Chains A and B, each alone.
Chain A
């Protein structure tokens, strides 16, 4: 019995080692993704191109422009001469934010019933809109007492990621995204490929048991998943200074649980499709909602209820919660029992579906 299990595992490992493309993907996908997400995707917005029309041109209006500039969020180009000209530059995509300081700025500033300044924002880019809303919070010079000595109403302290670096938020969850991507595809393709090439027809006429076949095929991928986890975390720690606050053992246990869940998802996919191409497509179909709804990109609590329900079914959601907890907050695994239990349920259900659908028959 164990002989058959080890025979399958041994065969899978040998085949993997000889399949240069897949082997390259095991290392290449995590590396590419972490560099891509770590460097290119940056939610810290800086230097948005902007222009100002200062029709008031008072000392206060100039102070306001200087304050905005000093925030580093916007970078002012040549000032515009009129509002239509400013709009034209916005239309042309030359600038993303326009600041209009009207002629009656001083009167508006002293009264408090009307906005003193107008921001024109290019709403076609998602990040810019939210940044502009932040800009609108910049205190207006001289509206209340002397703005220089003004104390902000709130002092914001960002815990666990005081510098608010995107990499710190992204890299831990990225472990999950990468595992979700590669594990589902690898397993579904590994099984469908054998069916396509006719190997499975031969295998199922041997005394091998279904579970031996499946376990033997999946186990090497658990190891591969853990290797990928290590790559992402190592690069994350070395290149992006992502903190490792929790216990590594907890981390790897959580990763192993998540890997098992994604592998069985791949297994279910393999029982639903006929060709490797379909396996790829269906794997990607499960990947997209995982990335969008798991809390990897958008905060989970801000999503509409139906999206949250869908997210509950996705294993990535729970893993993102766990790994952020362990890595950033240093939470022990025992504090993460709820997401761990949800992952375990997902694993049990998909495993049951896969075994009930996979029979040693062709029909």
Chain B
């Protein structure tokens, strides 16, 4: 249930969801998700494909009605008040969804008219976004001929033309090179500095780490939530890094240990997650490897976001209960 009395707008979160659930036939795509997304922050949805990121975003912008649960976006109940939210919302779909057969200028002009900007503001905003997203030289080019990075700049420009308070970005960087991704994130931080709230879904760890706050989704459930740093320090596992030449034997030996939750290989190193109750995890790994006749070094290290992700999503097979942040 939502709080009965809405607090002052300044502290009211941008998005509040309680028990948000969406079923497609017998499949539950989103299962009881609670969200409190603060204003003027970048909030990340991290999860593998099919974890319910897109479905959640679509419910937030009123494209899909929840099967159960409630969601308020900028104080509007969705999907009932969807129309009133529209002018305050910018949405970037997962797939490029502007018109390939229109030029960059025509696409932007069209979107500015669809958002009902008055003539003067339209001119001013078109000029502002073409400058901000370096589209000046591309204006007369058809959108279909743009590169991945250029398309994404165009899509972001189109989504911010009407200066929305909330931006929903559904895997915006999935078809973009690393440099463009970095530029894109600079643009997002510039928007946040102006007070825009941004919700972005991704399956890149480095992007997730840039978010102010993060929700990890797996199979439609929210399995962890919090600031990336916090999530890393709160990880319900201990992390050991093993350096060895015989990674094959070492991996097999480590997986024998019932305290070992997962082993991931990085070159000649093995990244080992152990139960949080395992005492002296590095010593334990070292002993086990020595018993197996493997020459190795084991060091306890801090958790990465990937470890958090694995810990939050990967233990279901062994019926390990994942934490909620």
Contact = CB atoms under 8 A, between A and B. Distances in A.
B13 to A, nearest CB: 21
Contacts of A360: 62, 82-83
Contact of A207 (B100, B106, B115): B115
Nearest to B64: A363
A7 interface: yes
A204 interface: yes
Given A201-B63, A207-B86, A14 B102 contact: yes
Given A361-B79, A362-B64, A14 B106 contact: yes
Contacts of B111: 206
Given A201-B93, A205-B63, A15 B83 contact: no
Interface in B64-101: 64-65, 79, 82-83, 86-87, 89, 91, 93, 95-101
Contacts of A7: 110, 113-114
B87 A207 contact: yes
A197 interface: yes
Question: Which of A10, A201, A204 gathers the greatest number of chain B CB atoms within 10 Å?
Answer: A201
Contacts, number: 74
A149 interface: no
A205 B87 contact: no
B97 A199 contact: yes
A3 B112 CA distance: 10
Given A205-B61, A361-B79, A4 B97 contact: no
A164 B79 CA distance: 63
Interface in B106-144: 106, 110-111, 113-116
Nearest to A8: B114
Contacts of A197: 95, 97, 100
A204 to B, nearest CB: 7
Contact of B116 (A4, A15, A199): A4
A204 B93 CA distance: 12
Interface string A176-204: 00000000000000000000011101111
A19 B58 CA distance: 31
B311 to A, nearest CB: 33
Contacts of B64: 361-363
B197 to A, nearest CB: 16
Contacts of B96: 198
Interface in A9-63: 10-11, 14-15, 18-19
Contact of B86 (A14, A205, A361): A205
A206 B93 contact: no
A203 B111 CA distance: 9
Given A206-B114, A206-B115, A198 B97 contact: yes
Interface residues of B, number: 29
A298 B113 CA distance: 50
A361 B62 contact: yes
Given A15-B99, A207-B83, A362 B63 contact: yes
Given A361-B62, A362-B63, A201 B97 contact: yes
A202 B101 CA distance: 16
Question: Which of A4, A6, A11, A203 gathers the greatest number of chain B CB atoms within 10 Å?
Answer: A11
Contact of A15 (B62, B86, B95, B101): B101
Contacts of B91: 202, 205
Given A11-B110, A206-B114, A361 B65 contact: yes
A216 to B, nearest CB: 10
Given A11-B99, A363-B64, A202 B115 contact: no
A19 B115 CA distance: 26
Given A360-B82, A361-B64, A362-B63, A202 B98 contact: yes
A197 B114 CA distance: 19
Interface string A346-363: 000000000000001111
A303 interface: no
Contacts of A361: 62-65, 79
Nearest to B82: A360
Contact of B114 (A14, A15, A207, A363): A207
Nearest to B96: A198
A208 interface: yes
B101 to A, nearest CB: 5
Contacts of A14: 101-102, 106
B86 A206 contact: yes
Nearest to B114: A206
Interface in B226-245: none
Question: Which of A7, A15, A206 gathers the greatest number of chain B CB atoms within 10 Å?
Answer: A206
Interface string A326-363: 00000000000000000000000000000000001111
Nearest to B111: A206
Nearest to A1: B116
Interface of B: 58, 61-65, 79, 82-83, 86-87, 89, 91, 93, 95-102, 106, 110-111, 113-116
10 contacts: A1-B116, A4-B113, A7-B113, A11-B102, A15-B102, A197-B100, A198-B96, A205-B89, A362-B63, A363-B64
Given A14-B102, A14-B106, 14 more contacts: A11-B102, A14-B101, A19-B101, A197-B100, A199-B99, A205-B62, A207-B83, A207-B86, A207-B87, A207-B114, A360-B82, A362-B58, A362-B63, A362-B64
